[in-house]
Amino acid sequence: MKFYNGINKVEKVLVAIVTVLLVAVVFLQVVNRTIIKATIAWPEEAARYLMVWQVFLASVIAFRTGANCCIDVLINRFHGKAKVVLTCFSNIVCLVFAVVLILGALEVIQTQIEFNQTSTALRINMAFVYAAMPVWGFLFIVELVFMTIQAFKPTAFKDQTDGEGSAA
């Protein structure tokens, strides 16, 4: 339980930090282009990579709170054990998707590290950018595990998630 709550808090803090950095970098670029009349390349690239990380991290929070787009018409038509079984099946499909994405991303990251491909303006290794996918996958899998447990024990995490509901 503490592990789950700790991960939730870390996710929120990371999303907040990335969002503040993204706003600051975009603001810097706007000031440079409109007031200073100078164009520098790195803020645009930094904003792009921060946006990638923001989307992946925030999507886990959206999934947890049910704010993501979800077609659960079929699952909501059932109650009791049938709903638990369908929820578990849905979570298993999502888990397989996450594992496939993680494995694919790890291959890409390994290639980026081997060839030391760096970004044009920031000169950072592109493996850092692609690392957003396996980080998302790990957090998503943790969320799926706890959502599956919650399907069996609906009150297990009700008071533990800072008032947030579940997407299940």
pLDDT digits (tens, 9 = 90+) for 23-59: 999 999 999 999 998 888 899 999 999 999 999 999 9
Q: Could you tell me if residue 166 is inside a domain?
A: no
Contact 143, 64 (CB under 8 A): yes
Q: Could you tell me if residue 134 is inside a domain?
A: yes
Q: Could you tell me if residue 144 is inside a domain?
A: yes
Give the domain extent around 124.
Answer: 2-152
Alpha helices in the chain (DSSP H): 2-31, 42-65, 73-76, 80-115, 126-130, 132-152
Q: How many domains does the chain have?
A: 1
Q: How far apart are CA 53 and CA 26, in angstroms?
A: 15
> pTM for the complete prediction?
0.83
Q: How many CB atoms lie within 10 A of CB 28?
A: 16
Q: Could you tell me if residue 158 is inside a domain?
A: no
Q: What is the pLDDT of residue 156?
A: 52
pLDDT band at 101 (very low <50, low <70, confident <90, very high): very high
Q: How far apart are CA 22 and CA 28, in angstroms?
A: 10
What mean pLDDT, rounded, does the chain reach? 89
